[in-house]
Amino acid sequence: MEPCDLTFSDARRALDGGKLSSLDLLDSCLSRIGQADPDLSAFLFVADHEALRSEAADADERRARGGGLGPLDGIPVGVKDNISVAGMPLTCGSRILEGYVPPFDATAVARLRGGGAIIVGKTNMDEFAMGSSNEHSAFGPARNPWDPGRVPGGSSGGSAAAVAAGMCPLALGSDTGGSVRQPAGLCGVVGLKPSYGRVSRYGLVAFASSLDQIGALASDVEGAAVMTRTIAGHDPRDSTSLAERVPDYERALLSPPVRLRLGVPRELSSGGASPDVVAAVDAALEVLASLGAEIVEISTPHLGYGVAIYALVANAEASSNLARYDGVGYGARAGGAGDLDALYSGTRSEGFGSEVRRRIMLGTYALSAGYYDEYYLTAERARSLVAADFERAFREVDAVVGPTSPTTAFPLGERLRDPLAMYLADAYTVPANLAGVAAISVPCGLGADGMPVGLQITAPRSGEATMVAVAGAYEREAVRAGVRPRLAGGP
């Protein structure tokens, strides 16, 4: 097997045991990128190979000396192109930021670097994180490694495709309505959205400030847990960042879900998801039951309003956050503008794609005089009911379980004509963002079309350890049973 096809945990043990060098792992990843990325377009930018090899050599030297910066030392990592890496271009999948190079690292990136991770490059995404298919990238869609005629999901489609294709064992994404978990589910990898505030948003380009979180995509639960632990924790530069200590998520992986109660939302199990997705998830729940978990039905009557709430709240916040793209201080600028107003309008109309323009318009409308109460405020109130549903649920159960997405990966082009159909792809993921709780997607088999299905496990705020324990226990069992989908040859 190629080193790049090892799971994170196998690669880490091989590195620690001296059986694999960081240099060999990196070279294997770069070779896979060279071979597969022309078809998949997972990356928008790959760093200079010699510079990366030098970093890998440094990691090998640290290990040889008995030092080493931790479990991420010498591990190649992709970073979604809305997260700042100093010196690497940042486009957010948009023409309006063409040419922009951040002069600083996002806090999450700085922490990865501090742990010795090798930032290989920037991954493709829906423009400004607005999308569920990576088809709204100004630089062309990313494709699903399981079937390049299908979407990888979005908006962190590039990161999910990169990990699924063995281009890197770990990648950073961002999740506002499901943009880490949904592509992870569609690509057969693990995707983790931390509780709101668990990971600093400093250096993440803002889409919806009350919903955004940076999240980990990984080839296994251990990778997601280790990556999350490394990047999480208080940051004085993010005023919404939680002060609580970050627990040892890795240790949580070792505890089996005995006596844990897992809730299945009654209202979501009646229609919406395709039958093969339901079957794969039901089989996963049986596995969890056999491991000692108790599966109970719960009532969460407001989660079904999530997409409607999100359509108003996320886009209202986005209309404010995207007001800064004006051609003045960075990025593209419309030529020939006679006055400042024309500069703004010209730059924004030329620079933003159609989905971004649509969402800015929707958000501006929902906030405008005469409509604010009816739309934005109503949505924010409804949002409180979603949060309350979870609070009530978590008094009865330890975690909520269900499918990550209603369907497996759909063909490119299928939902482009119908924005609403695209938004509904997020029906199961959006509630966790609205409530600020933690959620993870873990692969749980294949659909009737041979495409991956994701099992979503949602935990209370700051309940990442519980979630990781359940996901890890399921994954171990799924691997043993041969159920865990792996694209390339391997376990």
Partner 1 sequence: MAVTRDEVARVAGLAKLALSDDETEALRQELSRILEYVEKLRELDLAGVDPSSRALAAEGAARDDGVGAMLDRDEALANAPDTDGRHFRVPGFLPEG
Query: On the CB side of 342, how many CA atoms lie within 13 Å of its CA?
Result: 5
Task: Reply yes or no on whether 179 is catalytic.
Answer: yes
- Beta carbon of residue 390, minimum distance to partner 1 (angstroms, whole number): 12
Closest CA to 150 of 487, 415, 417: 415
Which one among 348, 415, 484, 486 touches partner 1, defined by CB under 8 A?
348
Strand order across the beta sheet in which 294-298 lies: 43-46, 118-123, 76-80, 170-175, 213-218, 190-193, 438-446, 452-459, 399-403, 261-265, 294-298
- Beta carbon of residue 135, minimum distance to partner 1 (angstroms, whole number): 16
Beta strands 261-265 and 399-403 are parallel
328 binds partner 1 (CB under 8 A): yes
Closest CA to 333 of 350, 315, 316, 309: 350
Which one among 17, 103, 482, 489 touches partner 1, defined by CB under 8 A?
103
The whole-angstrom separation of Cα 373 and Cα 316 is 12
240 binds partner 1 (CB under 8 A): yes
- Please state, as a whole number, how many other Cβ atoms lie within 10 Å of the Cβ of residue 168: 33
Which one among 243, 259, 271, 275 touches partner 1, defined by CB under 8 A?
243
CA angle 406, 153, 208 (to 5 degrees): 95
Q: Select which of 21, 28, 80, 122 is catalytic.
A: 80
Range in contact with partner 1 (rule: CB under 8 A) among 114-122, 144-152, 186-194, 382-390: 382-390
- Beta carbon of residue 112, minimum distance to partner 1 (angstroms, whole number): 22
* Percent of the chain as helix, strand, coil, to the nearest 5: 45, 15, 45
Q: Select which of 9, 22, 133, 155 is catalytic.
A: 155
Task: Reply yes or no on whether 80 is catalytic.
Answer: yes
Which one among 123, 182, 241, 321 touches partner 1, defined by CB under 8 A?
241
Structural tokens at position 95: 């023409």
- What is the per-residue binding string for partner 1 in 388-427, x denoting contact by CB under 8 A? -------------------------------xx--x----
Which residues are paired to 122 by β-bridges? 45, 79
196 binds partner 1 (CB under 8 A): yes
> Are 159 and 80 within 8 A, CB to CB?
yes
379 binds partner 1 (CB under 8 A): yes
271 binds partner 1 (CB under 8 A): no
Provide the annotated active-site residues. Answer: 80, 155, 179
Q: Which residues bind partner 1 (CB under 8 A)?
A: 99-101, 103-104, 196-197, 210, 236, 239-243, 302, 305, 307-309, 311-313, 319, 323, 326-333, 337-346, 348-349, 352, 357-358, 360-362, 364-365, 368, 375, 377-385, 387, 419-420, 423, 434, 436
